[in-house]
């Protein structure tokens, strides 16, 4: 496979050390929060060798991330992804330059994320062995397409997402979808789903999963940029997810989040705003390193 040069994305760091990170699974996009940096046209993060994210990257070789800036602009980056793992060096041959810069990027991330490192020190006794440094891998995404979104406005893009390129036809709307509610959530993460809290929607596209910023509007409805949905050729209706999190603590064992997974439908387009409804089939909640998944029972 021949790869084009990575798109020109400024070296940045995820606000507060975290970006929403999307990988591909059998049941659709999977979005959690990751510390990461952009360097030399690549988004670089780290995870446990045995994590779902690492397994997905090894299987599908694609990922995406959203980086939320303090000025209200969100940058969405995506592209082919490798796992830099000395136990499986063959994967690094698909992007040798990415493998080479992974080391310097890790050092930069460690320096920039000193608070997060101190959090690991504080929680040393509660960090599972699989998450210790010698059992981690780097995930390196070669950014070949990107978007910049502010609110419902699509500001700019690159690669296949360049706004000057013809966008696909109108978003396909589901007109017979009645308003619904979210399922009962685990008590310890219920407070994360809030009208004022940022939501991240994991959406399937022809190139792989992506994650777009959204706002929960109550019930099963989320608002986001219609132009961004059109530009990425979103596979909607289709499988997707909505993720909320609280990563304010620097300690990894005190970070919480919840991901609702199911079917997404575009139910309304009003100017720059698209409204998407989720029919939740499964809920995954995490509290530090502990995660649990609950299947949702729905009446037919």
Q: Residue 17 above 80 pLDDT?
A: no
Predicted local confidence at residue 122, as pLDDT: 72
Peptide bond into 237 cis (omega under 30): yes
Predicted local confidence at residue 16, as pLDDT: 39
Question: Using 50, 70 and 90 to split pLDDT, how confident is the model at 169?
Answer: low
* pLDDT single digits (tens) 87-123: 776 666 667 777 777 777 776 776 666 677 777 677 7
Lowest mean pLDDT among 32-36, 149-153, 210-214, 217-221: 32-36
Average per-residue pLDDT in the chain? 86
Q: Residue 147 above 90 pLDDT?
A: yes
Predicted local confidence at residue 3, as pLDDT: 44
Q: DSSP 3-state assignment of 111? A: helix
Mean pLDDT computed over 263-285: 96
Q: Residue 208 above 70 pLDDT?
A: yes
Predicted local confidence at residue 168, as pLDDT: 59
The upper half-sphere exposure of residue 205, i.e. CA atoms within 13 Å in the direction of its Cβ, equals 27
Predicted local confidence at residue 299, as pLDDT: 43
Is the CB of residue 185 less than 8 Å from the CB of residue 293?
Answer: no
Burial letters 84-115, b for 16+ CB under 10 A, else e: bbeeeeebbeebeebbebbeebbebbeeebee
Place of tokens 């969100």: 74
Q: Give me the percent of the chain exceeding a pLDDT of 70.
A: 85
Q: Residue 10 above 70 pLDDT?
A: no
Question: Using 50, 70 and 90 to split pLDDT, how confident is the model at 4?
Answer: very low
Give the integer Cα–Cα distance in Å for 127 and 57. 23
* pLDDT single digits (tens) 70-89: 889 999 999 999 998 877 76
Domains along the chain with CATH numbers: 15-290 (2.30.110.10)
Is the CB of residue 278 less than 8 Å from the CB of residue 220?
Answer: yes
Mean pLDDT computed over 38-57: 92
Is the CB of residue 78 less than 8 Å from the CB of residue 207?
Answer: yes
Q: DSSP 3-state assignment of 217? A: coil
Mean pLDDT computed over 227-250: 93
Mean pLDDT computed over 44-53: 92
Predicted local confidence at residue 67, as pLDDT: 93
Predicted local confidence at residue 175, as pLDDT: 86
Predicted local confidence at residue 195, as pLDDT: 94
Is the CB of residue 280 less than 8 Å from the CB of residue 182?
Answer: yes
User: In the numeric block, which tokens belong to residue 217?
Assistant: 């509007």
């Amino acid at each position: 496979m021949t790869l084009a040069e990575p798109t020109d994305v400024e070296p940045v760091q995820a606000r507060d050390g975290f970006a929403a990170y999307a990988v591909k699974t059998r049941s659709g996009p999977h979005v959690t929060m990751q510390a990461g940096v952009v360097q030399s046209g690549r988004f670089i993060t780290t995870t446990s060798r045995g994590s779902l994210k690492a397994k997905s990257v090894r299987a599908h070789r694609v990922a995406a991330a959203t980086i939320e800036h303090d000025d209200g602009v969100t940058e969405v980056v995506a592209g082919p992804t490798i796992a830099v793992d000395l136990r499986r060096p063959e994967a690094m041959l698909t992007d040798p330059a990415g493998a080479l810069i992974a080391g310097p990027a890790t050092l930069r991330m460690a320096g920039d994320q000193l608070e997060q490192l101190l959090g690991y020190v504080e929680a040393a006794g509660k960090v599972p062995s699989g998450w210790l440094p010698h059992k981690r891998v780097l995930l390196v995404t070669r950014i070949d397409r990107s978007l910049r979104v502010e609110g419902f406005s699509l500001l700019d893009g690159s690669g296949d997402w360049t706004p000057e390129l013809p966008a696909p036809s109108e978003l396909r709307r589901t007109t017979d979808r009645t308003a619904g509610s979210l399922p009962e959530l685990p008590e310890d993460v219920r407070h994360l789903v809030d009208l004022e809290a940022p939501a991240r929607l994991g959406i399937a596209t022809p190139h792989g999963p992506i994650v777009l910023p959204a706002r929960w509007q109550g019930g099963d409805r989320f608002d986001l940029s219609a132009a961004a949905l059109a530009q990425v050729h979103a596979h909607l209706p289709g499988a997707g997810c909505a993720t909320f999190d609280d990563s304010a603590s620097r300690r990894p064992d005190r970070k919480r989040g919840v991901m609702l997974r199911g079917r997404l439908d575009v139910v309304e387009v009003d100017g720059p705003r698209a409204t998407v409804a989720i029919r939740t089939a499964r809920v995954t909640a995490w509290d530090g390193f502990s995660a649990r998944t609950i299947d949702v029972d729905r009446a037919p």
